[in-house]
Amino acid sequence: MTQQNLYLGIDCGTQGTKAIVLDASSGKVLGLGAAAHTLISGANGRREQHPQQWLDAFSEATHRALQQAGVDGQDILGVGVSGQQHGLVLLDEHGQVLRPAKLWCDTETTPENDRLLHELGGESGSLERLGVAIAPGYTVSKLLWTREQHPDLFARIAHVLLPHDYLNYWLTGRACAEYGDASGSGYFDVRNRQWDRALLRHIDASGRLEAAVPELIEADQPVGTLLPAIAERLGINPHAVVSSGGGDNMMGAIGTGNIAPGVITMSLGSSGTVYAFAEQPNVSPQASVATFCSSSGGWLPLICTMNLTNVTGVIRELFELDLPGFNTLVEQAPIGADGVSMLPFLNGERVPALPHATGSLHGLTMTNLTRANLCRAAVEGTTFGLRYGLDLLRQTGLQGQSIRLIGGGSKSQVWRQIVADIMHTEVVCTEQSEAAALGAAIQAAWCQSGESLASLCDKCVSVDPNSRTLPVADRVSAYQHAYERYQHLVATL
């Protein structure tokens, strides 16, 4: 029997934490575990979570994954953490969390973001200085909001961390950050890979924030080893190496083998993302394109839509449908949903850039107002947002022969065909749909073993041949017509 090399990959998302146990020798995932999180929501766009939930879910998901894998936690050689991007975790000097974490989907800080953007010289000034146009949801406006809304608490800040940085801190006691996740903070220069300290001083002249940002490390550098008490709580080897980790999109890139030009990753999760590896930081003049750093040594131009399976989920709840029932109705309706269009901006929207938009239905008549058409319009409307973003990425010179589809929506054969037809590109799913957790485990192996990332991805990332979906010519043109209708409606907003 060949020697197993076991790594734990963790993905702390909005809805829950996923854990996987990877054998980097065979490239096989041996066990999966999951645990749910809850959201704190306010009518003013507040979206927060208690980081304690993440720690509890981390432990629970890990125990479940180890149990399913049937392995001894003492054999785990390394741990990698993927985290939801842009969230703000504030710690005091004792390492205690000061308040719930504001998340990527929080829009309460939109006024603060507008003021900071104005200070930077608008979107073009922000792109020139940082390489990204800061948007509501990025971390930077959350800092200004905290200073203004909670001055007493602000005065106690000792560490400013992103969600995955906080989990690494909990595991090792060390506060540090890596370039990929840091580039979504809004106070980081993506071209030169360093914190924008002057921007932090603008928010807080005392220098407190500047002193509170963590040191930056390379993607292949470990953070350290586990604290003994945490190793005991998780039931894993205290000598396990914790890798730099990264944002969920950066880890999703590694987990789909998207570490060289040519592959496009598209995630159909609660939000939608499209991204691809780039060797240079070719910053797009389009503010919607975020030229983040990758967690594999390059860059990761990316677009993110705020509305995807969260929208189809709301429609399913409205009609009390399970997933198969929903998919059946989507299939029953024709392309273009008999003229029904949904602008699915229930959360506001980032791509197209409409932070204050709300959702709307268009083209309703006495005859086309059916459950099937509404289900179809929800899937088409959210997918058109991804097409809008993919077009922006392609304008930056992005090449891609194939789209690797991940996230909950990718499990639907109906949706895969819709994506292939709307994007006019072949679509294939990876065998492991928990791409971010897989990427985190692969990165842990890269940090711990010294084996090349390319060789690890070749071994550990495989596509599911049964999921391969090709665009159908007459459908492509029918969707093009429906997409132009969507663009026209977006333009009126």
| Domain range summary for the chain, segments of one domain joined by + | 6-247, 257-429+463-493
pLDDT digits (tens, 9 = 90+) for 203-261: 999 999 999 999 999 999 999 999 999 999 999 999 999 999 999 999 999 999 999 99
Question: Per DSSP, what are the bridge partners of residue 19?
Answer: 10, 33
| Selected catalytic residue, list 181, 196, 248, 338 | 248
Q: Are both 6-247 and 257-429+463-493 of the same fold?
A: yes
pLDDT value of position 2: 66
Please classify residue 445 by burial: count the beta carbons closer than 10 Å to its beta carbon, then call 0-12 exposed, 13-18 middle and 19+ buried.
buried
pLDDT at 1 over 80: no
91-103 pLDDT per residue, tens = 999 999 999 999 9
Please, are residues 52 and 67 in contact by the beta-carbon 8 Å criterion? no
Other beta carbons less than 10 A from residue 470's beta carbon: 12
What gap in Å lies between CA 252 and CA 134, rounded to an integer? Answer: 22
The fold of the 6-247 domain, in CATH, is: Nucleotidyltransferase; domain 5 (3.30.420)
How many Å apart are CA 298 and CA 310, to the nearest integer?
31
pLDDT at 427: 97
pLDDT(484) > 70: yes
- Of 140, 153, 57, the C-alpha closest to 96 is 153
Average pLDDT, the chain: 96
Mean pLDDT of 126-133: 97
pLDDT at 196 over 80: yes
CA–CA distance, 89 with 161 (Å, rounded to integer):
5
474 is catalytic: no
275-282 average pLDDT score: 93
**pLDDT number for residue 21:** 98
The tens digit of pLDDT for each residue in 373-420 reads 999 999 999 999 999 999 999 988 887 889 999 988 999 999 999 999
Per DSSP bridges, beta strands 426-429 and 400-406 are parallel
Q: Look at residue 493 in the predicted model and tell me its pLDDT.
A: 87
Kindly give the pairing relationship between strand 262-268 and strand 246-247. Answer: unpaired
- Calculate mean pLDDT across residues 304-308: 92
Q: SS3 helix, strand, coil % of the chain, rounded to 5?
A: 40, 25, 35
How far apart are alpha carbons 338 and 366 in whole angstroms? 12
Task: Give the span between the Cα atoms of 217 and 207, in whole angstroms.
Answer: 22
pLDDT reported for residue 242: 98
The amino acid at residue 134 is: I
Contacts of 484 (CB under 8 A, 6+ apart): none
Is domain 257-429+463-493 classified as CATH 3.40.50.300? no
Helices 110-120, 122-130: inter-axial angle, 10-degree rounding:
70
pLDDT at residue number 3: 83
Answering whether pTM is above 0.85, one says yes
Distance CA 177, CA 159 (A): 11
